[in-house]
A = this chain, B = another copy of it.
């Protein structure tokens, strides 16, 4: 285990009716900007609950944050916030609304000319306007971590940043807010959380027994509750466990002191940027092929994954690994997700295009051992054809 420094300051308010509790978390005197996405919160009752909780406060709002939130949209949000004098952001939605609002929180507290510099790293985030999240889509874990991914349409770039200043002060996780999600979004969320765990777990043995066992616990939970949630959309027990598992999947806990991969995400990002396929669906196409291509480098952890996540403990190791990858694919398929380029109507030409974009973005040594070059990405996407 490597040395680490870890704290997660976000207060989790979990359970039905917890939206009402935000009143105690936001200062009475705050001027709140409520941010949201396409407006589903106005149809499923979440908007009303939020406004009821904020009754009597100074509240402005900004809607229309898109999936893969853009710099351009969030700069409009910044204008709205400045016009309203907002000094507290309440993000209501999924990971995109949370991510966009993290950038907004940093941009509002920045006195430089070009807030995009905060994303590229050209400027350092030193402070941010306080932020809270009401989560409606269990998937990204953004509600209690300090990372965000922002797309600059003008520059054709999709970049991630991390800074402790943008940890949400609180995150409301009420499983009932997820009841109106379309099944496709539920499935995407399960897969997104699953691959988050894999990126922090399926690397090389590093002596992190608790980290490994926690990761395996989350993977097994997602495998159990994902299909259950889709089979019975009203199963509140499954929804609650899905929401908590997706949160724990990316709040920093399982990655302390151990290596991380993230090459599946980087290749997936390029697929999404090129072809507009859902983030989670890009991951379910890439991951099984990545496991196959990187079988040698990840051998020991693949054997462990087969045993601890899928119960495959007998027979030759390579056969166990092959079976575990097949089970991973079957799990994604059961969720209705693609596992081949063809499932998303993409051809093998995607491989070279993704590799070219990875190279153009300087992403030429990915993975826990920097072994995923653009050439390896071509192998992976060829395997996924």
Interface positions of A (Cβ within 8 A of B): 1-18, 21, 170, 207-210, 213-214, 216-218, 220-221, 224-225, 237, 240-241, 244-245, 248, 253, 256-257
Give A8's nearest chain B residue, CB to CB: B8
- Main SS at interface, chain A: mixed
Give A10's nearest chain B residue, CB to CB: B7
Please indicate the chain B residues that have their CB under 8 angstroms from the CB of A241 in the complex: 1, 207-210
Which of B16, B208, B217 contacts A3, CB < 8 Å? B16
Q: Is the CB of B14 within 8 A of A5?
A: yes
Q: How far is the CB of A219 from chain B (nearest CB, A)?
A: 10
Please indicate the chain B residues that have their CB under 8 angstroms from the CB of A4 in the complex: 12, 14-15
Please indicate the chain B residues that have their CB under 8 angstroms from the CB of A220 in the complex: 213
Please indicate the chain B residues that have their CB under 8 angstroms from the CB of A170 in the complex: 7
Kindly state the separation between the CA atoms of A240 and B4 in the bound complex, as whole angstroms. 12
Q: How far is the CB of A235 from chain B (nearest CB, A)?
A: 11
Please indicate the chain B residues that have their CB under 8 angstroms from the CB of A217 in the complex: 210, 213-214, 216-217
Kindly state the separation between the CA atoms of A1 and B244 in the bound complex, as whole angstroms. 10
Q: How far is the CB of A232 from chain B (nearest CB, A)?
A: 14
Which of B3, B10, B245 contacts A14, CB < 8 Å? B3
Q: Is the CB of B3 within 8 A of A7?
A: no
